[in-house]
Amino acid sequence: MIQRLIAPFAVLVLLLAGCAASDAEPVPSFTAADGVVFSGPWAKEFSDAYREAKSSFVKRVLKDGKVSDGEFAEMEEQFRSCLADASVGFDGFGFGGTVETKNLGGVSTEGNFAALERCSDETGEYPISPLYYQPKSNPQNLDGPTITAECFVKRKVVPPGYSAKDYERDAPGSTFPFTDEKAGAEALEICTYDPLGLLGEE
C-alpha cells in the first residue's frame, strides 16, 4: 500500500503559511485575468489556482471561491476512474485529503506514482483537493507555522516554548524535537492537516 500526502511536504508548508487579515484590514480581494473576483481569507490561493488551471472543469469548480461537496465528489470519482485505468486501486481520500493506493495488475511502484501524478493533473485533484480540505481546517487562513506549532505544544509532543520559527526551522528536514516518537508522528499528521481540530478526526 502506498500513501501519498495532498502534496509534497514542502508544498504543504507553503500552503499552510498563509496569514489571515486582521479585523482592521480590508477583506483580501483578487481579480483573475477574465474578470472573476475572489475575496475572503483564501482569495489568493483560489485566484492563483484559477489562473493556473488548464481545464474548464477546474475553473468551473474554483470560480465561486469554494469547493462544494458535490464538486469534490465529482473530482474524486474522476480521479478514482483514472487510477483504475492505470491498474492503481484507490478507495477514497483519507484524513485531510491523504491518498492511499494499491498496486493492481502487476503495476510497479514507479508506475503507481506516475499514475498518481498524471491523474492528479488530468482530473484537477490538485488543486481541488487542497482547496477543499484546507479552508475547512483553517477557515481564516491563519499562519500555518504558528497554528501547527501551537498544536504540537497542545498535544505535549514538544517543549512548551516551541514556536513558529522553530517549526519553520525543523519542517524541511522533519527534525522535530518530539519528546515521544510515536506520539510525535501522530501529532505531525493531525497538526499538519487539522491544526485547529475542526475536522473532528483523530
**What pLDDT, on a 0 to 100 scale, did the predictor assign at position 7?**
39
Q: What angle do CA 41, 167, 25 make, to 5 degrees?
A: 25
Question: Is residue 27 located within the same domain as residue 109?
Answer: yes
For residue range 110-119, list pLDDT tens digits in order: 999 999 999 9
Same domain? 120 vs 155: no
The answer to whether position 165 is within a domain reads yes
- 29 in the same domain as 118: yes
3-state helix, strand, coil in the chain (%, to 5): 50, 10, 40
pLDDT at position 32, please? Answer: 78
DSSP letter, residue 71:
H
pLDDT of residue 17: 44
The answer to whether residues 115 and 170 belong to one domain is: no
Domain count of the fold of the chain = 2
Q: Is-contact 22 40, C-beta < 8 A?
A: no
- pTM comes to 0.84
Mean per-residue pLDDT, 180-193: 97
> Stretch 33-59: mean pLDDT, rounded?
93
Q: Which domain holds residue 132?
A: 22-137
Question: In this predicted structure, what is the pLDDT of residue 169?
Answer: 98
Angle between helices 181-193 and 144-154 (to 10 degrees): 140
Mean pLDDT of the chain: 88
Co-location of 78 and 122 in the same domain: yes
Domain contains 198: no
Write the CB contacts of 39 (distance below 8 Å, at least 6 apart in sequence): 27, 28, 29, 30, 65
Model confidence over 145-186: pLDDT tens digits?
A: 999 999 999 999 999 999 999 999 999 999 999 999 999 999
The answer to whether position 121 is within a domain reads: yes
Question: What is the percent of the chain where pLDDT is above 70?
Answer: 85
Q: Determine, yes or no, domain membership for 200.
A: no
The proportion of the chain whose per-residue pLDDT surpasses 90, expressed as a percent, equals 79
Q: How many Å separate Cα 47 from the centre of its chain?
A: 16
Q: Which three cell numbers stand for residue 127?
A: 488543486
Q: Is residue 6 part of a domain?
A: no
Q: Which pLDDT does position 200 carry in this prediction?
A: 78
